[in-house]
Structure 1
Amino acid sequence: MSAGPRAAPKFPLRLDQVKPAARAEATPLLRPQRPLQQAAVEQRGRAATPAGLGLDSHHVRERMLARLQAEGVRDARVLAAMRAVPRHAFVDTALANQAYEDTSLPIGLGQTISKPSVVARMVELMLAAQPVGARPSLLEIGSGCGYQAAVLAQLARQVISIERLRPLYDKARSNLAALHVTNLRLVYGDGRIGHAPNAPYDGIIAAAGGEDIPAPWLDQLAPGGRLVAPMLDARSGGQVLVVIDRHADGSLQRSLHEAVRFVPLKSGID
């Protein structure tokens, strides 16, 4: 005799109330075969997937920010800017899985993309001279692949970024075009002479270091502005970060900070 229809289960089910059905030990566990066409499509998708896919994950970016905070980066503006810019989009696909590690990576022509901690530190130093809420006009010397310029564009009213190596200038243009950055202008030219047409700048940041700070940079720094650049320290024989502030009366004040390692600052274009 039939026991009658079973009552419909109530949802959501609670797993702690679900009893597993009894199964004989000899009974094989059956798994339905995936349709061959679906498997083939997924296999092609995996083969075509670039190494950087998935690096837009919130967790990947947040781990990088947590490391920056642990190393002393406190400016919420800087952290927000670096959260917004996909660093993996600025490195070669083969290196994309290392994009959010705290390491510099090659970008060609003997140049590198700076470590996230170095970018954060230099940008934080530069912004420290700006009032909260300000949208400064910034000059970057050495566009490289365009990553730091993209970070600066999150914080500025306008960014002028100069690159002397034509292949890197073209690479930066291509990388930045994909992000539709509208307040950033790339200039192919000699970074040692700055860019006078848009001067003065509230902030100047350099991604290459020499034995001195070029006079045009100082001339193009606005009163109340700050310059941050690597420079050779004669005492140690290595590079250190130098910060130069221009006061309202036009006077300059210089301070030296931690050791860094950047590519040499060169004149001319190539």
Structure 2
Amino acid sequence: MNVHPLPPSALKGEGMTSQRARDRLAMKLKDEGIRDQRVIDVIRNTPRHHFIDQALHSRAYENTALPIGHGQTISQPWVVARMTEALLERPDGKQGVPQKVLEIGTGSGYQAVVLAQLVPQVFTVERIEELLRQARRRFRQLGLNNIRSRHDDGKLGWPDEAPFDAIILTAAGDAIPHAVLDQLSPTGVLVAPVGSPSNQTLIRMRGDGQGDFIQEELAAVSFVPLLGGIG
């Protein structure tokens, strides 16, 4: 059961945004290797069409990334599911729930909303003010009061709230910014795409409690670049 379920009104839709369309997406994610049923259920019950322009509603439940303006995208549902699943997996292979999660790159707010239904606290940072304004409106409409958001340079993280049990980056750089990695708890987990625009890999880093990190590669991905500054 998810920690913070969405209100029944969020499940309304028709045609290409109906519950049937969401159910098909959930089955596709399961067929493509997503194992955590909690994540599948949250994806099934999250109205992805609320996070994109109305002209794209008919494509909301396709397993593909879609534009959200300002040169940004809402990630492919499989990628959102895999990143979320990777954050929840414990080193022993069992399921866990990090208490406090930092997201770098709010974008449309979709990934934050998925996380907020599964963990107690989500802190999300976005450098583009207009995108953050729209995401905050969606958070309010969905009744999620466990998301805190900030307009700032994501490469700086959110030091005032550190340390975090888990950190997720939704844009790709050549490396994880040191300021962000420093905000991960000694036994925390970080999931992020790294690499050049033509060669990106989704990685997971786990703190060993002694100041070192164990890194593993999860999948080939394609994300927008991780940029500094604010806009």
Structure 2 length normalisation: TM-score? 0.89
1:1-270 matches, cutoff 5 A: 53-54=14-15, 57-129=18-90, 132=95, 134-232=97-195, 238-270=199-231
Cα 1:101–1:143 change in 2 (3 A) is: same
Letter in 1 for 2:47: P
Q: Which moved more, 1:135-144 or 1:121-130?
A: 121-130
Query: Secondary structure of 2:201's match?
Result: strand
1:90 and 1:146 in contact (8 A); partners too:
yes
Distance of aligned partners of 1:67 and 1:199 in 2 relative to their CA distance in 1, 3 Å threshold: same
Greater relative CO (CA pairs within 8 A, separation 6+): 2
- The structural deviation recorded for 1:112 is 0.4
Deviation of 1:217 after TM superposition, in Å, equals: 1.6
Residues 55 and 88, structure 1, Cα contact 8 Å, conserved in 2: no
Contact 1:138/1:160, CA 8 A, preserved across alignment: yes
Deviation, 1:135, is: 4.7
Distance of 1:255 and 1:92 partners within structure 2 = 35
Contact map agreement 1:141 1:205 (CA 8 A) in 2: yes
Unaligned runs of 5+ in 1: 1-51
Q: Following the alignment from structure 2 to structure 1, what is the Cα–Cα distance between the partners of residues 47 and 98? A: 22
The answer on whether the counterparts of 1:137 and 1:201 sit within 8 Å (CA) in structure 2 is yes
- Alpha carbons 2:17, 2:61 under 8 Å: kept: no
**Number of equivalenced pairs:** 217
**AA matched with 2:107:** G
Structure 1 residue 56: Cα displacement = 5.5
CA distance in 2, matches of 1:188, 1:53: 34
Which of the two has higher C-alpha Rg? 1
State the alpha-carbon separation in 2 of the partners of residues 127 and 188 from structure 1.
Answer: 26
4+ runs of 1 displaced by more than 4 Å? Answer: 52-56
Change in Cα spacing, 1:226 to 1:56, as seen in structure 2 (3 Å) is same
Distance 1:124 1:135 in 2: 12
- For residue 125 of structure 1, report the CA deviation from its aligned partner: 1.1
Query: What SS does the corresponding residue of 2:138 show, helix, strand or coil?
Result: helix
Instruction: Select between 124-133 and 58-67 the one with higher mean Cα deviation.
Output: 124-133
Query: What do the CA deviations read for 1:106-157 (whole angstroms, capped 9, x no partner)?
Result: 1001100001011001111111138645352101010001011000001111
What secondary structure is seen at the aligned counterpart in 1 of 2:150?
strand
Which blocks of at least 5 consecutive residues in structure 2 are unaligned?
1-12
Give the percent of matched residue pairs that are identical in Structure 1 and Structure 2: 46
Seen in structure 2, the aligned counterparts of structure 1 residues 126 and 133 have a Cα distance that, compared at 3 Å, is closer
- Give the drift of 1:250: 2.4
Aligned-residue offset at 1:257: 2.6
**Equivalent residues of 1:129, 1:224 under 8 A apart:** no
For 2:65 and 2:230, how far apart are their aligned partners in 1?
24
- RMSD over aligned Cα, in angstroms? 1.7
Distance 1:92 1:56 in 2: 13
C-alpha displacement of 1:259? 1.2
Task: Note the C-alpha offset of 1:230.
Answer: 0.6
Q: TM-score, normalised by structure 1?
A: 0.76
